[in-house]
Amino acid sequence: MRMEIFAIPIALSVAVCPGDAGADLKSGIEAFQQGNFAAALTAFEPLARDGDATAQFYLAEMFLKGTGVPQEFTHAHKWYQLAAEGGLPEAQVALAGLYLLGLGTKRDDQAGYYWTVISVIWSNGRIRESAMRSLSEVSRTLEPQDKADIARDAVAAWRR
């Protein structure tokens, strides 16, 4: 199965972060983009622990790729999970990929399908296109009733 799970552009907005947290997030993103991963890590860690989904996503990216930290799929999974639960579509589609590939967690096609459906609901543009391609691929591995049940659960979660 060929999947384009991790082809996610990192262009997240910091406009939703008030005050100093927004400035710290912005400086972390700038450091990340400039390849100063030590500074990015310093900026992202406290924000991520405080529940900032964008900071959690960037930490997950760092652990997934081993940029500025040792490559550790379990840590990547943890931070993607938190960011996905925080409503970040980029994290939702990435988390789906980890489940579908069994990186940092056991392989779970149903969880991968669930997070792919959630990401389709919440995303737009290139993120949605990537999620739709993944949805098409993973849907082949599940029974029709399983897909219907998972989609129903995803829509119910989206409505909350």
pLDDT at 101: 93
pLDDT at 129: 87
pLDDT at 20: 57
Q: Identify the segments of the chain with pLDDT beneath 70.
A: 1-22, 159-160
Fold of 17-86: 1.25.40
pTM of the model: 0.81
Which of 30-69 are b and which e, b meaning 16 or more Cβ less than 10 Å from the residue's Cβ?
ebbeeebbebbbebbeebbeeebbbbbbbbbbbbbeeebb
Q: Within 13 A of 108's CA, how many CA atoms are on the CB side?
A: 15
In sign, the C-alpha dihedral spanning 52, 58, 63, 68 is negative
pLDDT at 153: 87
pLDDT at 126: 86
pLDDT at 113: 92
Q: What is the pLDDT of residues 22-61, one digit of tens each?
A: 679 999 999 999 999 999 999 999 999 999 999 999 999 9
Domain ranges of the chain: 17-86, 89-160
